[in-house]
Amino acid sequence: MSDRRSIEPEGLAHPGLPIPAASRVGPLLATGGIRGVDRATGQMPSDIEAQVRLMFANLKTIVEEGGGDLSAVAKINVWVAAPEHRAALNPVWVEYFPDPASRPARHTLVYDLPGGMLVQCDALAWIG
């Protein structure tokens, strides 16, 4: 029997799809795509700064619901809709991961994101 469990914070479900926001197997937590959506309204702002801020807040919520905190995050992949959107990442990144000696690895790619998304991420965390 698997010890895998689905992580499904309110407001971050994939509507109509049988896909959780994340999955935890033992100490490993792997997220699906995390958007910059407002969990309370279900709306995605039109500006990159607001989407980035919400994306990181949603990442934090998912990891916490999975039993950890942001110190457990080892790797984050980020997709941005345009190269100039990369600049919006670093100020919020430093807020969420202030210690330069203890930050997750990050890889950022430019990608044609659907549905008004300007940024999306996924993450791996080890929750001991």
Q: Is the pLDDT of residue 15 over 80?
A: no
Residue 16's pLDDT band, with cuts at 50, 70 and 90, is confident
Please name the fold of domain 4-126: 60s Ribosomal Protein L30; Chain: A; (3.30.1330)
Question: Whole-model pTM?
Answer: 0.96
CA angle 60-65-70, nearest 5°? 35
Domain spans, the chain: 4-126
68 vs 64: CA distance, rounded Å? 5
The Cα 16–Cα 78 span in angstroms is: 24
Interval 56-90: pLDDT, tens? 999 999 999 999 999 999 999 999 999 999 999 99
The predicted-structure confidence for 27-52, as pLDDT tens digits, reads as follows: 999 999 999 999 999 999 999 999 99
Measured CA to CA, the distance from residue 60 to residue 48 in angstroms comes to 18
